[in-house]
Chains A and B, each alone.
Chain A
């Protein structure tokens, strides 16, 4: 909650302590005098109490608290959770049913339900040790990276087009998505993950992979024809500053662009220091995609191309030496007027002749090469062999969609008054937020870049940075439990929520860096193997009344699956899921009526059926036309970093899931699969469908409900004419079974796992 302290503070915020220098109109441009003093005043406004905000204090390892019921403890997490419950005289919710727990774990870690065989193996012996084994197995699956990459892509404002009027495709940007999937699957240490995304091009072991990681900076929306280019350049830097500071540090640095932060101890100077770090990066001309590789590789390619160019020149010389002879030889099948055009000296050709030459150049070359005398032909082919050889020896590098920093001389950076590019104030050097550092680091130029981002990235990825580890362990916690220990995961400032379990947060952060060596998989394991994670969702009216938001975690929180997990689970259970990984985005169906209402009707061409059956993380996200099924089911806002999905439960979602083409089609597939796998017995069919989709057998009441439905619906459709045809009992039953499958996909339990 907003405390009165905050409200009273900001009208007279810290900037009141700063003497605003007179602005002097000089030579038509506003400049600020006494700029050194002014800059010093910004830093001087940060006082000791600002530095004492909990999240800015060093992370220390708190003692694991003793509890009254040590039986309940499986990992130290449980101590921290249980001790707070015990203080209330409460008990944690009992453990969830094994089948519910298994489904929870699969959906959580890989975003897919367990197969019937996997269910069988675990449920035969559902011990805690077996469960731990399941955790390890799932973390080794590729599906883990596919599931958890999407969380990161939400944070990184990932989409595959630029937005705005033209909304052009970000070519090869999907390589960033694939990078994230691989990084997670390889369990790349989180500090390294940070370094690669923020300064992968400045690392000594720079590679294709680390350069592709820096696509992070270029994922945001981009207007290719802004009204004011100078201003827009800073809007782009602003997008980078906002995203970077929120994602890695939980700081809302963007607020300090035009004025000091209203609540947090972040000054405009801090903002423009960060701006100076980002400013040297440039967008490639024509919004191009560019090759990614190490400096050595890029140099090799440049050398290769230099040699190839020489060889091509040699080839050209051979052609030239033979050209006049060939043109008059009568061997060419080209029309005479074309040949004549070639014979006229370049400078004397008229426009028509120039056109003819351009159009037929390749054809002429081909004919000419075919007609070479043997010794010329031999020499020509030799050059060609060497070219091919070079291309094979040093193949092209994969292209990616990232920004470039190619010079080590940075542009000058200024503090922009009111955030306006046209109103530069004093010059600013790169630096870090004052409230978080005792002294500014020194920045050293690299050979090819300014080296600024590497200093910045190393500071973020440093074990002693008070925010980095707290922020990431909190995010991971949130994706497991629905809410973080800090419930404003991208705002750890004074306006953010206080941690519900501050000691737990610090214990996890310390453990993550010092014991787990920044391994996300170890963190998942610690969490998933806890008894806290194994709690059921059983409610308790007393606790619910006292703690309706479940801040003490007295039970496992209810949370709806994200649309990706809903869609992928449907595909997996219907048997249609295509597990192909990586590559360009897949265009899912968009209803005709939606495309028609768009200005450009050629805006979208859906991919083929097989491609569309791939996991949703591979779905192409176009900013101006988000696939309705994703949009309606609370896909994240693509214009900014999304810390958490909104969860709504409104009728348009029911329409999408109950009437939409996707579920209708998949329900048919599920019904076919069920018949294929268990035959004609209705009881077995229903049980099988239920198990595939919900990972459990239906109870008696559920069985009865579905049996009733199958029976009456089958009878009814036999007795009634269906669009003029009489159905056989078998077809009527199949139709009814499809309906049962459609209903199963719409069950609350399907989207809200127990």
Chain B
């Protein structure tokens, strides 16, 4: 596709977008991947819909331009990690530790400048050839310092967890917009026929606030939503055909179900949830043979299991998730999102009371598995096609509420995230917060800039990746297509 031309995922030979076409014939279906899935399975031809409008060889759609990454793993540190304790060392903080903040910047929740500057109690060391400074709570990840592109100048629009998570996942602070993974499925289709294209795994302590709204397809067809895998060692249940039911009977029964559901759909055209449900049965059938193997961590050798920390109570849960993530992208899943932290207050990275022990715990749970994931991807030749994103919904203040009090508050004005893998120039720092770590001041990167960058790496132009809904061409990055930009400096 030409770079300058507006991306039309639905272009058809008859100069109408397929979406418009389907709107007319199907009463409102939209979205190519879905249509492809249906047409590939003979859905529309069965119903006598004009075949030439639906000729698509596979569900896989060409990117708008060659993207560096085929897969993305988003390591979501739910609750908001503190930048000055992780990737943004602030020597000046040490100097003023324990003194009241006297600057003019308004920061923290509610904009109240209350509290005392508090240095990080963690030491930072320079790592790799690049000398990237990383907090001592990430000893394993630090070995890959030269692969990490740390953005220290992130900022968001909200300091509340619920809206922060939604913004990081959907670009919008309110419920109802499609998530990043949905946009990828919409723009690129699904590579794997046998597994969902977008998989989410949450923390056993609980999901993020607003749970499924964070991986919802919003106003897009329901088939683009993320598929949540279960916690606790058995991500998928009931993969086996019931006892006493033969394989052929299973297939025939499913065919009957599909025939009846299509008949029903014909009477209720345009219901995207009904379509998604039809697709989910077909995918479930294929998953019966493919997913059992995909999530079977027992088949991994002892060394790999050890490397991911599966034998250690502290790391086993996130290790499980990271290893499952690798196995999934290996099998064509496009976007996998893993949550660290969930449920109540300190069970997430939300270190209001004691940021020190909170971050030690959560870093301790995730550091080794993340480093193992990088090692593993490199060993398997997947590193160059997989983008890794690390970060939470925002950051934390460089202050505490009293002298020697180790809790830190929310901070959406400046925080750190890192990117690594496909298309990323590692071993570098982008942007900066002010001297004390309150607010992003240099090369500021808005959450939507990050989204634009991720889409770019996947081969999608955020300005031209649109979805028509309620009278508007919608974008992940909002209505103004020139407002947010790809972070060029991050690119290799």
Contact = CB atoms under 8 A, between A and B. Distances in A.
B256 A539 contact: no
Contact of A549 (B24, B403, B470): B470
Interface string A510-542: 000000000000000000000000000101010
A739 B264 contact: no
A717 B249 contact: yes
B245 interface: yes
Contacts of A227: 346, 354, 357
A12 B111 contact: yes
B115 to A, nearest CB: 7
A370 interface: no
B104 interface: no
B212 A537 contact: no
B273 A647 contact: yes
Contacts of A659: 238-242, 288
A705 B259 contact: yes
B218 to A, nearest CB: 11
Given A423-B402, A649-B273, A649-B280, A628 B230 contact: yes
Interface in A164-201: none
Contact of A11 (B106, B173, B239, B287): B106
A235 B345 contact: yes
Contacts of B271: 539, 558, 752
Contacts of A598: 232
B27 A544 contact: yes
A695 to B, nearest CB: 14
Given A539-B28, A546-B471, A655-B237, A748 B269 contact: no
A95 interface: no
A33 B331 CA distance: 63
Contacts of B94: none
Contact of B246 (A235, A646, A722, A752): A722
A649 B277 contact: yes
A702 B114 CA distance: 69
Contact of A548 (B206, B248, B263, B470): B470
A752 B274 contact: yes
B96 interface: no
Interface of B is mostly: loop
Interface in A245-299: 255, 258-260, 262
A658 B254 contact: yes
B213 interface: yes
Interface in B230-275: 230, 232-234, 236-242, 245-246, 248-249, 252-254, 256-257, 259-261, 263-265, 268-271, 273-274
B264 A646 contact: no
A743 B256 contact: yes
B409 interface: yes
A495 B227 CA distance: 29
A447 interface: no
A143 interface: no
A308 B352 CA distance: 53
Nearest to B242: A664
A30 B98 CA distance: 14
A749 B264 contact: yes
Looking at chain A, what size class is its interface with the partner chain?
Answer: 35 or more
A418 B273 CA distance: 44
A87 B274 CA distance: 31
Contacts of B269: 539
A541 B114 contact: no
Residue with the greatest number of chain B CB neighbours at <10 A, chosen from A25, A255, A637, A716 = A637
Interface in A717-748: 717, 722, 735, 739-740, 742-743, 746-748
Nearest to B287: A651
Given A539-B268, A664-B242, A705-B259, A649 B252 contact: no
Contact of B219 (A7, A545, A548, A656): A548
A16 B241 contact: no
A418 B160 contact: no
Interface string B330-364: 00000000000001111000001110010000000
Contacts of B245: 664, 739
B353 A228 contact: yes
B212 A646 contact: yes
B160 A653 contact: no
Interface string A688-732: 000000000000011001100100110011000010000000000
A717 to B, nearest CB: 7
Contacts of A664: 242, 245
A262 B274 contact: no
Interface of B: 23-24, 27-28, 106, 108-115, 157-160, 172-175, 196, 206-207, 209, 211-213, 216, 219, 222, 225-230, 232-234, 236-242, 245-246, 248-249, 252-254, 256-257, 259-261, 263-265, 268-271, 273-274, 276-278, 280-281, 283-284, 287-288, 343-346, 352-354, 357, 401-403, 405, 407, 409, 469-471
Interface of A: 1-2, 7, 10-13, 15-16, 20, 23, 25, 30, 163, 221, 227-228, 231, 235, 255, 258-260, 262, 417-420, 422-423, 488, 495, 537, 539, 541, 544-549, 558, 560, 591, 593-594, 597-598, 628, 631-632, 634, 637, 639-640, 646-656, 658-661, 664, 701-702, 705-706, 709, 712-713, 716-717, 722, 735, 739-740, 742-743, 746-749, 751-752, 754
21 contacts: A2-B172, A10-B111, A228-B353, A255-B160, A258-B109, A539-B28, A539-B270, A544-B270, A558-B271, A597-B232, A639-B343, A649-B276, A650-B276, A654-B281, A654-B283, A702-B263, A739-B252, A743-B256, A746-B257, A748-B274, A754-B268
